[in-house]
Amino acid sequence: MPSVRHDLDAAAGRGQVRISTVRQGASPFGVLGYMLGLSYRAVEMFLRALDCPCGKSSVDRGLLFLVDIGNQRLIGVEMVEETQADEVRRIVREVMAQVGATELRTDEHSSYEGIAPEGSHRLCLTHWLKSKGKRAWDLLQQAQQEQRPLEVSSLEDLLALLRKRPRSPTVPEELSKLVRRYLYARKGLPWRINQLLQHIERTWEKVSDDPIDPTNNVTERIIGLTFKIRAKTMRGFKTQAKVRAHPYLSFYLRGQDGLCDLREVV
């Protein structure tokens, strides 16, 4: 998902957040379950067993958050699926032009490709490390189970390289050596390692090297405070209008110091 920086860490918040809501009209069986002290989850499971149409359902659209990372400010919230690439690109381009963003920071979803010029679109370090580290760890477990010492050693070296700080802004020679080692692997575990190594090499220099914060953490924090907490604790939203309005209201109430002052709207 993206973010925007006045460097605009031009990153659109966290592009895709799945949301769910409670359907209108509670089943009499559901009401009875609540009266008997069952939890919401237990009631939902009970109703599903009865094939009763009640419980959670997904809201039709996803949410695209656009955030000015440098100023820690919510810029916009749009109801659009991350898979709707053309619409996502149109929205992000318009916002970047309106706020004068110089950098777009996102995860690796293909919908964000081609929005900003080469060098101005950077990947969130946290998202990138999480996905590459998890894949390398899974392959390491497989290599250990299959008792393949060379692959175990290679993957341990790769994980150490991913964790190394400070992180090299250019592709390190150690990574290039690993890539060459598996360059011609075409099947089984070596082939999967080959694919991972080539992807890491290809995207290494696209990852943000911002000396202050190369991540989308500001965006994730804003999404958590303005949307996720409310969605999880109150079992979602009942209308799309409320889904879209709540992040704006919540961000306004919290203000720049993160405190919620209800006197602002009284």
One-letter amino acid identity for 63? L
C-alpha distances in angstroms, 12 versus 39, 85, 159, 189, 213?
Answer: 36, 14, 29, 36, 16
Summarised one tens digit per residue, pLDDT across range 135-156 is 999 999 999 999 999 999 999 9
- pTM value? 0.73
- Rounded to whole angstroms, the Cα distance separating 173 from 79 reads 43
Running DSSP on this structure, what letter comes out for residue 168?
P
Nearest-angstrom CA–CA distance, 178 and 201 = 10
Q: What is the CATH number of domain 3-18+60-123+212-265?
A: 3.30.420.10
pLDDT tens for 236-252 read 677 778 878 888 888 88
What are the boundaries of each domain within the chain? 3-18+60-123+212-265, 20-58, 125-206
The mean pLDDT value of the chain amounts to 79
Instruction: Give the CA distances from residue 246 to residues 34, 35, 57, 78, 249, in Å, rounded to whole numbers and listed in that order.
Output: 27, 30, 19, 12, 5
Q: What is the pLDDT of residues 58-69, one digit of tens each?
A: 344 578 889 988
In angstroms and rounded to an integer, the radius of gyration of the C-alpha atoms of the chain is: 22
